[in-house]
Structure 1
């Protein structure tokens, strides 16, 4: 396998790992939080959001996106499978953008909320956050698939 192929494989795996985190939240974490009284759900998600930006998670979140772009550029330069590489990179960047444009601002608003006002805070948060998270998960999984396809020699 070429250097470009390896970059695309690593990009695919890391983008898929990142998407897996989002899938977990979409498929059971948010539902479990929603089963709690709203004030407890707010407190729990505030705690999750404080713990999430670890060096390891941030390296995965940012690094997977950077690797996807590097893989697409490498495919363009080497004449590899450009269409799936670029499409995968674009989808990875869009998933990352959704995080910054939708999920993080919602997290910041929830952090500022008083759990005593949990009903209002949780209802304003959970639906929009989860819908954006579904999008991040789907975009990431499709990006990972396209990057993997791009890694396979034509």
Structure 2
């Protein structure tokens, strides 16, 4: 490999390392929500605030929040996989002569296709995260009022 291109795997390893350590090691997701159910008490933590409600009385909301939290976790894991798959194409786009498919695809088309994929997936991912967050926020607001 050309020494000029060593920055590509280094940047890739740094970005993916940070994302993987945050996601796997610290269970990071973009929504600051956590909950536990013990002895019929549902403890909810949202944005640093913690409160308790009866799990028996609010079982529907507990299930809704758990489902939204699981959907967010799954979406975040999907984002990590797609970032890992698309990041090399983005990084190689900065080196015109070393990009993949350089003999088959013109540079402009490669850039357009790569940016198109990044933008389309970004729109999909951000809108999905926002929908999940809105659903969870609605449940959390309800629980905050009844606690």
Q: Normalised by the size of structure 1, how large is the TM-score? A: 0.51
- Which has a greater percent of helix? 1
* Structure 1 position 97 matched with structure 2 position 74: yes
Q: Root-mean-square deviation (CA), in Å?
A: 3.8
Matches within 5 A, 1:1-154: 53=19, 55=22, 60-61=28-29, 64=32, 67-68=34-35, 70=36, 74-75=41-42, 78-101=55-78, 103-113=79-89, 114-116=92-94, 117-153=110-146
CA contact 1:106–1:129 (8 Å) conserved in 2: no
Distance 1:135 1:55, change over 3 A: closer
- Which has a greater percent of strand? 2
- Which blocks of at least 5 consecutive residues in structure 1 are unaligned? 1-45
Runs of 4+ in 1 over 4 A off after TM superposition: 49-52
Could you say which structure has the greater relative contact order, defined with CA pairs below 8 angstroms and 6 or more residues apart? Answer: 1
Paired residue secondary structure (1:61): coil
CA contact 2:68–2:132 (8 Å) conserved in 1: yes
Q: Normalised by the size of structure 2, how large is the TM-score? A: 0.53
